[in-house]
Amino acid sequence: MKINILIENRRKLNHLDLAPLISAFANAEGGTIVIGISDKTLEIEGIHQYGMDKVNEFIAIPKNGCKPMPQYNEEFLNVINSKGEEDQLLLLHIQPCVGSNCKNNKRFYLFKNWR
């Protein structure tokens, strides 16, 4: 079963904080990380407030923060944000690593079974 995570849309969201999550996805069955939805209110806040430089940092996290780099692709989803403005969500679709474990900062991450 793939796990999907909503990442709180905060201006202070550090793109490197997502690397352990990406590593854990890659070492499990993969999954999708959604950036641009508040994890507290579930309101669509979008990613335009970050600017393209920060969005590009998010897109490059699997390449720059995980070794070996997991297979992934990004997707932009057009939405209307909670202010009624056109915006987008960023989806990072992480594929499972095959043949080796994906690490972040020489650490190995897995999802714990929380059932």
State the amino acid at position 18 in one-letter form.
L
Decide yes or no: CATH 3.30.110 for domain 3-105. yes
Model confidence, pTM: 0.79
Q: State the 10-residue block means of pLDDT for the chain, 115 residues long.
A: 50 68 85 85 89 90 84 95 96 86 62 46
Q: For residue 64, what are its two tokens?
A: 């720059």
- The span from the CA of 113 to the CA of 50, in Å, is 33
pLDDT score at 106: 56
- The span from the CA of 5 to the CA of 17, in Å, is 14
